[in-house]
Structure 1
């Protein structure tokens, strides 16, 4: 039977809510998957630059920037394996000049890439909610912990935005030396991961700050999506819906496990209580896929990215995905 199925490579991070697909418990119809689990930055680098995988997780920021520039090598799916609120991603020195978000005005702020999805939302929050125009911040781009990181997509920066690439430096080193005043990054600085208090978060109580941000705006930031190489999609357009159905089923099974108080399914105490809290905040489907349940977030993301010069056109959510996955059948 397996010989009659289309064999495709599938690169992804090791998510609990995707694992039923990568382990073969849930099989996409008509597809024999070859799962490849990779570190995020490596996976994005290899997929965007070399197209090494048939289906891969990809940065929503980089993917959308590409399609806004008519680079259509990939076909996106409205399946969002990683979503993280981003007030938690602002890092500062404990004795530095920034004590509150408003102090970012007139300061020097580093990002690992202007095109990183996390920083799109962070900058959107700074401009639209904190009230600081991005032109009133001096921006720097470098790797978080290591020198040498570069932008992966072409930018169309608005007039007045200053972005200084620093290929020979790291953001963590620049923060410690006083060359910048804050970092916006998805991947926490290594010192923070090691609980070294020389670098700290702007919001120690970030969970409460981020929940209130969602209540106020309806925005729950989407970091990543899955995409198919266009050659694969055009030869087999049914693959898109098949993958969406399988990944949605895997996610639904994962949510059921998180709500099960009979046994702890992940090594986190009170995980079922956290899942119930998420259900209270986000609704019964507390990790939604698809366009319509995520329209508020997607529209904000597309506006922010366009305003910031990452997206070269102001797109609609429907522009991100093929018609085959923009709706689903009903019985």
Structure 2
């Protein structure tokens, strides 16, 4: 039987490396892999469906699913996971010292429906008691003007969101026209070491570790999704892709754990893996629904509360049946 050819767009992660270089094969599939910046990848996949399979924003996928836009079929494969206490940026002399101080302030987001922003707003509302409707929200590109929302929004009553087309969030933060920015990608002044801006949390790792220990949650940013017509033509692709991604990730974790040599240009990488396993179990980057149910259901709740999803969603309706459970021998 001839193999099916699929195009795959994804970031250059070590945990997909063996899939991209052919060490791990997707059974029945010949892959053409494209490694692209996430913003470009998401835009081209969501707007034009240029790839058969792509990494994509979890927020965009759930927003479209809630709107009954069935163009994409997500798999419970999560290339990117990041704690987001570290993604709150403020003016150094703006008088903000704790999350509660953001109530009533002017806060910028790259997109209301950015996954990182949804998690961060959820933290502010649920963990720190901030009324999101009290904030004056502004949407613009982080470092370039002109960024747009990719999905329709159903903003909650009382929430004010102003679209700023001709300025960037970085520019507005430096000018004092914003008090804070919530963003996955750091504002340029942060990367440049500009003393006028800083992270809200001086030691975000300590805060994120405490959050992980308290909640058991490990925020998911991105999923892998197929175009609907690709899935419908060959539904066996869902599990075959899942298994290949899972094998590639397992091989990556083996490299991290290897103490004989350094596969990553980082000191103490095996120690970091041991810490992650203490927090999240033997596979700290688990794929699949059940190992991630609490994290995923928390995100779905935040997305609905914040008007990214126009109706509640369940995981059983979000993911296809072929990957909702795995077989056992």
* Structure 1 position 95, deviation (Å): 1.5
Residue 23 (structure 1) aligns with: 21
- In structure 1, distance between residues paired with 2:194 and 2:177: 20
CA distances 1:119-167 after superposition (whole Å, capped 9, x unpaired): 1100000000000111111111000000000100000001100001001
Residue 276 (structure 1) aligns with: 274
- In structure 2, distance between residues paired with 1:219 and 1:281: 10
Question: TM-score by structure 2 length?
Answer: 0.98
Residue 203 (structure 2) aligns with: 205
**CA contact under 8 A between 2:216 and 2:279: conserved in structure 1?**
no
* Structure 1 position 308, deviation (Å): 0.3
- In structure 1, distance between residues paired with 2:131 and 2:199: 22
* Structure 1 position 195, deviation (Å): 2.7
Number of residue-to-residue matches in the alignment = 329
**Structure 1 residues 130-279: aligned runs within 5 Å:** 130-279=128-277
**Structure 1 residues 7-156: aligned runs within 5 Å:** 7-156=5-154
Over aligned residues, Cα RMSD in angstroms?
Answer: 0.9
* Structure 1 position 183, deviation (Å): 0.3
SS of residue matched to 2:167: strand
CA distances 1:225-245 after superposition (whole Å, capped 9, x unpaired): 000001110001011110000
* 1:285 corresponds to 2:291: no
**CA contact under 8 A between 2:153 and 2:308: conserved in structure 1?**
yes
CA distances 1:17-76 after superposition (whole Å, capped 9, x unpaired): 011101111001000000000000000000000000000000000111001000010000
* Structure 1 position 273, deviation (Å): 0.9
- In structure 1, distance between residues paired with 2:49 and 2:78: 20
- In structure 2, distance between residues paired with 1:203 and 1:9: 40
* Structure 1 position 300, deviation (Å): 0.5
- In structure 1, distance between residues paired with 2:317 and 2:118: 18
Q: Which moved more, 1:88-97 or 1:40-49?
A: 88-97
- In structure 2, distance between residues paired with 1:222 and 1:269: 25
- In structure 2, distance between residues paired with 1:282 and 1:243: 24
Which 4+ runs in 1 deviate beyond 6 A? none
Give the alignment partner of residue 304 of structure 1, picking from 302, 305, 318. Answer: 302
* Structure 1 position 196, deviation (Å): 2.9
Question: TM-score by structure 1 length?
Answer: 0.98
